[in-house]
Chain A
């Protein structure tokens, strides 16, 4: 069943059009990766889905048209975004960051905090610490945990591997995979790192200068020669 269904999406900044009208779909329980180089329009796609910028075309979430909804109402519908560069609130403590993530909810908030602390034990150790004092990897964990606090059905992750050591990145992708397998969370992930992306993804879209140039299952794309050359370097 299709959870997020995008058709003919065009968006940009002022007169500058970055996305030139493409289709994209995320099914219930899937991990979908948007793969692309710098400037391909990956982050712009994320912003368009979460309502941060003006966009044209049709975006349907769970059968509901959200192509002109405001960011806060989109969060309320069940789409959470982990912004690029983590965007943790440096002056709030780890726990306060989590509570801020639950901004759109009021019930069972504390229970959820503990629940995600179980998944990310290192955050529990640091719960009273300023988020600004965490390491990059911990901040990325916090950003994901914070996004989960809104109880999303779809998680948007904007390049979570950015600036992290390979080992930390692997751990992070392991967590995302587990969330998908155990909680049934659907994930739309933006990545430059094709090796990583193809390992976790069910399906992949290849984005080049604002257009989807190729899409298919992770296995299909990994087998495609031209893609291997351009993105896997072998």
Chain B
């Protein structure tokens, strides 16, 4: 076990090493891996952004939402409609989607946040169920193309980014989608980090821990809750745009547009660690990895899987995924980030600065 003082050169060296490792992986994936693998990482990034947005509302502010799949869908449809019907350049649809989702998020939050707990869960659940139905509605078909959805939503030509250079073909698109998703992931992370570590962020955790005390501290509960819900919806819409641009398709039955999407975001957030900045990142990567690995388990698999599940005609994929998640929650009740922190503390202990020497943080 090693003890390291917070802010000492060793501590900085450790941090630099961590950042370097992450950077290496981030560059390794699109340059060395197969196109399908790159796609899986892009998928993970999309889910991470959505889970991060949910984390803001649920993990940090303690307001449950099962309606985030609707915001994801709003993002996806905004992009598809603007690009296909109005000839927008895909890049600008991110802004439009964020603004629209922010407004819709705030409007939903206004009545929804007057209620709490299980009732709030039900209201947001209704939103999640309503969205696909609304999109399929015949009278809106002129806009959304009904049950068929909208396809071939994509960049006409892959934009040329400074470092990436010119990318071509199917592989090039995958690499570009990867970097686009990565950039948005970093932006989302920084936005969440900025929000959470600020005066505003403290008021969010205050609301989660004790609403009454937060109110007598001068926190305006309604305004704060509505704003955080809107911001969260906007971030989730970005994930929706990204997903549509990557796959080129959006339909009312799309994977994350239905209620199932909300459940997946929730799962990722909880598995990774609710109320932590890195929780959704770890959770998203683990979820996509598990999902893709178990999906390959057919009923004709050999070895242990075949022995255990060979009697069934159905693929055991969903079952194994579910079991794996249960095991994770059992082994890491505070999420994977909590588990990693606990294990890491056995290797390196970061000693906080002694009392009275913390740097002034005036201005928060």
- A binding-site residues for B, Cβ under 8 Å: 50, 52, 70-72, 75-76, 80-81, 83, 87-92, 95-96, 99-101, 103-104, 106-111, 124-125, 127-128, 143, 146-147, 150
Contact of B216 among A75, A92, A111, A125 (CB under 8 A): A75
Q: Which of B94-102, B161-169, B200-208 contacts A (4 or more CB under 8 A)?
A: B200-208
Question: What is the minimal beta-carbon distance from A138 to any residue of chain B, in angstroms?
Answer: 14
Complex CA distance for A199 and B203, rounded to whole angstroms:
36
Q: Which residue of B lies closest to A132 (CB)?
A: B209
Contact of B356 among A75, A92, A124, A150 (CB under 8 A): A124
Complex CA distance for A143 and B209, rounded to whole angstroms:
14
Complex CA distance for A89 and B208, rounded to whole angstroms:
8
Which chain A residues border B318 with CB–CB below 8 Å?
A: none
Which chain B residues border A124 with CB–CB below 8 Å?
A: 355-356
Interface residue? B87 (CB, 8 A): no
Most chain B beta carbons < 10 A, residue from A52, A83, A147: A83
Which chain B residues border A72 with CB–CB below 8 Å?
A: 215, 218-220
Q: Which residue of A lies closest to B222 (CB)?
A: A70
Which chain A residues border B209 with CB–CB below 8 Å?
A: 88-92
Contact A99 B199 (CB under 8 A): yes
Interface residue? B32 (CB, 8 A): no
Interface residue? B34 (CB, 8 A): no
Which chain A residues border B275 with CB–CB below 8 Å?
A: 91
Question: What is the minimal beta-carbon distance from B221 to any residue of chain A, in angstroms?
Answer: 8
A-contacting residues, B220-252, CB 8 Å:
220
- B binding-site residues for A, Cβ under 8 Å: 199, 202-203, 205-206, 208-210, 212-220, 275, 352-353, 355-356, 358, 360-364
Question: What is the minimal beta-carbon distance from A135 to any residue of chain B, in angstroms?
Answer: 18
Question: What is the minimal beta-carbon distance from A69 to any residue of chain B, in angstroms?
Answer: 12
Contact B358 A127 (CB under 8 A): yes
Chain A to chain B: the 5 pairs with minimum beta-carbon distance, closest first: A87-B213, A75-B218, A104-B218, A89-B209, A81-B216
Contact A150 B206 (CB under 8 A): no
Contact B216 A50 (CB under 8 A): yes
Which chain B residues border A96 with CB–CB below 8 Å?
A: 202, 205
Complex CA distance for A208 and B136, rounded to whole angstroms:
62
Given contacts A52-B216, A72-B219, A124-B356, contact A106 B363 (CB under 8 A): yes
Complex CA distance for A220 and B163, rounded to whole angstroms:
83
Question: What is the minimal beta-carbon distance from A79 to any residue of chain B, in angstroms?
Answer: 9
Question: What is the minimal beta-carbon distance from B275 to any residue of chain A, in angstroms?
Answer: 7
Given contacts A71-B216, A89-B210, contact A108 B203 (CB under 8 A): no
